[in-house]
Amino acid sequence: MALDALRLETPRLLLRPTQLVDLAPWTEMMQDPETCRFIGGVQPPSMAWRTFMTMFGAWRAEGFAMFSVLERDSGRWVGRCGPWCPPGWPGTEVGYSFLRDTWGRGYATEAATAATDWALQSLGWTEVIQTIDPENTGSRRVAEKLGAVLRGPGKLPAPHDHAKVEIWGQTRGQWLARRAAPGALPASQPR
């Protein structure tokens, strides 16, 4: 599937590779202290541009990175979610960050479910992790809803090597068993 055509749809969300039009809302998200509290802190516009371009470039160079997440009904950009595994990372991660005014709606769980399905199927990953600051109770709850279990403390590569993180995760088999269980979130629909 061509990168420009890649879309994952959930009941409420559309996930697609980052596009230049996403830079403004991305920068807005990275300026909110509470949203950025556990993801490296507030970034001035010049740094937000660099991190955005890293994600944008990873899609084009490696064929995967975090998706831009949009509300299906409004088309509004609400966050990023998806596969992430730069050099030195402690595993194949599906991460998530959303605009603060969307917290509590279940978007992170819904988007991460679709992104995990895609990563396991399209990238052939055999496990998925989340790297979470021990104080980030919201992200820990999302990981638990996804079926991840706490594996223990972890370490990120520089320049994040000072950050305290826990590794949450599960194997492909554990994910697939959870997805087959009654009450699992519906599968995303690639289009």
Q: The domain spanning residue 60 has which CATH number?
A: 3.40.630.30
- The fraction of the chain above a pLDDT of 90, given in percent, is 82
Pair type for strands 67-71 and 8-9? unpaired
Count of structural domains within the chain: 1
The predicted pLDDT at position 188 comes to 57
Supply the range of the domain harboring residue 158: 3-190
Instruction: Give 104-154 pLDDT, tens digit per residue.
Output: 999 999 999 999 999 999 999 999 999 999 999 999 999 999 999 999 999
The rounded mean pLDDT for the chain is 93
Give the single-character DSSP code of 5. G
- Which token pair is 7? 């879309």
Q: Mention every residue, 6+ apart, whose C-beta is less than 8 A from residue 140.
A: 132, 166, 168
Radius of gyration of the chain (CA): 15
* pTM, two decimal places: 0.93
